[in-house]
Amino acid sequence: MKNLLETIDLRKTYKIGKIEVEALQGVNLRIREGELVAVMGPSGCGKSTLMHLLGAMARPTAGKVLIDGDDIAGMNDGQLTEVRRNKIGFVFQKFNLLPTLTAGDNIAVARHIHGRGGPAHDQHLEEILQMLMIQDKMGRRPSELSGGEQQRVAIARSVANRPAILLADEPTGSLDTKNSEIVLNMFRELNRRFRQTIILVTHNPELVIYTDRLIEMRDGVIVSDNDPFPEDTESELAQPARSV
Amino acid sequence: MNKKMIMAGLAARPVRTTVSILAVALEVTLILVVVGLTSGISYETGKRTEGVGADIMFQPPNSSLILAINNSTMPIALENKIKEVEGVKAVAPVQTLVNSSSGLEIIYGIDPQKFDAVTGGFIWHKGGYFKATDEIVVDDVYALAKKVTVGDQVEVLNHKFKVSGIIEHGKGARLFISQQTAQEMTGMVNRASMFYVKLNDPDQVNTVIGRMEKVFPTYGLRPLREYAKLMMSTSMPALDAFIETVVFVAVCIGVLVIFLSMYTTITERTREIGILRSLGGSKRFIIGLIFQESAVVCLIGIVLGVGSSFLLARLVQFIFPTLIVMITPDWILKASFFALVSGVIGSLYPSMKAAAQDPVEALAYE
């Protein structure tokens, strides 16, 4: 399977006043195409920081983040933006829909930024909307939708451009049990039906049953990873880093 | 899609959007009405001065082109000296007074015989020249605006006058009183604000002015046609500083309001900017959105401002019928340009700030 994401001795340090906080202290992982992975750990363990780095939202302090083979460490803002635009889809805990636009327009904005359009993509989008059961909600504003519906619109927006990787940060954090279940099943369905690579970042252990692989973090390092192909990962990680 | 986002953003904050549009409209209105009023008065004065029919305007040393702000006077006895200059046919001394209680009116204190000799006389609609010191001649525009006719009483500069005659407009001023009355009212006896000079041959203006300059080296000597042309042009040197100041103040208003509006917009919408950045929106895309939003505000403001300028011009003319507000296409274009420039300047920093926001921090903004 093709490697989509790879981190090599990834480190991220934040400066808060005069204090330096090491959010990530040497993270090595590899995520392959079509995987549905959960990154779990308590608050402050560095999982959100890891998500921001995997999503090209921030640059590492040290180490490498290879997204589809390209190291983002040396990229400028424009290049990072391009990576996000073309390869990444985000789903957030607070949905993050644009409040002034309808659900349909929220999805259209992502497609507009991406520069996508045309009937082929419309068909793909139709399938997604149908699967997420929100095709009749497109004319509504976020304030007119339930939390579960908003999150499904956010999911539709995140995958409307067929990103290589879908990153979801606590996607059920603002939902009740029933809606959480629906949303998690949607992620699973997206993964199964479209071979969508998905990384779910969560502190909720119940979510793990929906994923194929669990990476546990604590204090900025990975403490366990039930990688189905661990030898492959280790042997490859032992090789010199791929140049970009 | 940009259009939809911009319109939705503007509609979501109706009060701020309305205030911003009104501020731009105010900027445009301020420029158009003040410039229009200034140009209108200047143009009208120039046209009426040209209508006097004289060839040379003779003014005291260091006097202003704008008669309304001219306080200098000179001895009336100069009249005879001017007459002695070769080529001069007639000379009419004029004492000017300014009435600003209802608009801006220039009143001429004249000697009827001398004034007629230079101008060729008035076209009378009714009545005739003043026979007493408390009589006044008004032009038809004034009579219509004030709804007065011969025999009616008008109050000018706290003096009550009886209308003795109504003339066709376009001969220097709208109101004429006797030279003696004017001198009494100003307290400047045997003095004149200017002389209108008629020549035997109008084509010899420059030659005669050359002769006059030798006799009166420090006095203001201007060919009347040149003076009228200057007054009627849109770029009158004497008014340029005033107009530039008005434009500067108006642009400052526009810049500050757009800046404030856009700055609060981007602060309120920090999270939205973070969302757009997470979707792959570039810095240029964010800057473009802010600029386009500001441009929409400016364009609506411009349309509203131009419309309200015409309305205000009508209102001014309704209240002060003798005033003219000239809203010209070139100034509409200039005012629109200034409004757009203020929009660009006002949204420059906010858009840069928006684009420079860290996507992670922007998404965490509450």
Tens of pLDDT along chain A (244 residues)? Answer: 778 899 999 999 988 888 888 999 999 999 999 999 999 998 889 998 999 999 999 999 999 999 988 899 889 999 999 999 999 999 998 889 999 999 999 999 998 998 865 555 578 888 889 988 998 999 999 999 999 999 999 999 999 888 999 999 998 888 888 888 888 999 999 999 889 999 999 888 888 888 989 999 999 999 998 877 765 555 444 444 433 3
Averaged pLDDT of chain B: 88
Average pLDDT rounded to a whole number, residues B265-276: 87
- For A178-210, b/e burial (b = at least 16 CB within 10 A) is ebbebbbebbbebbeebebbbbbbbbeeebbeb
Average pLDDT rounded to a whole number, residues B25-30: 92
Which chain A residue's Cα is nearest to B359? Answer: A57
ipTM for this prediction: 0.86
Domain spans of chain B, in order of start: 2-42+238-364, 61-218
Distance from CA of B8 to the nearest CA of A (A): 6
Cα(B293)–Cα(B11) distance, rounded to whole angstroms? 11
Per residue in B300-351, pLDDT tens?
999 999 999 999 999 988 888 777 888 999 999 999 999 999 888 988 888 8
Best mutation target among B2, B273, B279 (most A Cβ atoms within 10 Å) is B279
Kindly list the residues from chain A whose CB atom is less than 8 angstroms away from the CB atom of residue B275.
96-98
Residue A243 lies in a domain: no
Per residue in B168-185, pLDDT tens?
988 888 899 999 999 888
- Name residue, tokens 């003795």: B164
Question: A138 CB near a chain B CB, below 8 Å?
Answer: no
Cα(B278)–Cα(B285) distance, rounded to whole angstroms? 13
Q: Is the dihedral of CA A168, A170, A174, A178 positive or negative?
A: positive
Domain of A124 in residue numbering reads as 3-238
Question: Domain with A187 in it: what CATH number?
Answer: 3.40.50.300
- How far from chain centre, in Å, is Cα B337? 19
Give how many domains chain A has, as a whole number.
1
Question: A136 CB near a chain B CB, below 8 Å?
Answer: no
Which residues face B155 on adjacent strands? B160
Residue A158 lies in a domain: yes
Question: B365 CB near a chain A CB, below 8 Å?
Answer: no
Per residue in B60-71, pLDDT tens?
987 766 655 566
Across A231-235, B99-103, B250-254, least confident range: A231-235
